[in-house]
Structure 1
Amino acid sequence: MASTYRTIQGDTWDIIAKKVYGEERHLDYLMEHNFPLLDYFIFPAGIELQTPDLPNRQPDDLPEWRKG
């Protein structure tokens, strides 16, 4: 389910990823879905970002060290 996030002054991609997805490492996924906003490094207040759900990872998609 896709939803949105409205920025507050000073938000950055990694801060938003942490707030929305729980980990900064998902900032690339967030950026992929908000391509027109890539010129922002530090956001002003009130910008609406698309925050689609992370894709479900299958066990075969995991690196060897994360399997079983």
Structure 2
Amino acid sequence: MESTYTTKQGDVWDKIAYEVYGDEEYTGWLMENNFPLLDTFVFDAGVVLQTPAPPEQTAANDLPIWRSKV
């Protein structure tokens, strides 16, 4: 797995997580590892994100509130 991802115009966090990790559930993980970019909702082309290997399991309690199942 590559350790960086270079954005394309219009990329968003959950789309990038799906492309890199194969599942949108890793959106929070991706955001945690790119903290300085958290104010970005829609990316311009050419932004380099860090994409470290995900943790083995993501506990439901660790998901952001907007990803939690009610």
Q: TM-score, length-normalised on structure 2?
A: 0.77
Identity %: 57
Could you give the per-residue CA deviations for residues 4-53 of structure 1, whole angstroms, max 9, x where no partner exists?
00000000000000000001111000000000000100000000000000
Residue 48 of structure 1: aligned partner: 48
Amino acid at match of 2:22: G
CA RMSD of aligned residues (A): 2.0
Amino acid at match of 1:19: E
Amino acid at match of 1:22: G
Q: TM-score, length-normalised on structure 1?
A: 0.79
Q: 1:62: how far off?
A: 6.7
Q: What are the ranges of 5 or more consecutive residues in structure 1 without an aligned counterpart? A: 64-68
Amino acid at match of 1:55: P
Runs of 4+ deviating beyond 3 Å: none
Q: 1:56: how far off?
A: 2.2
Q: Give, in whole Å, the separation in 1 of the partners of 2:7 and 2:41.
A: 12
Residue 50 of structure 2: SS of its match in structure 1? strand
Residue 53 of structure 1: SS of its match in structure 2? coil
Mark the CA change 1:9 to 1:23 in structure 2 (over 3 Å): closer, same or farther. same
Mark the CA change 1:62 to 1:32 in structure 2 (over 3 Å): closer, same or farther. closer
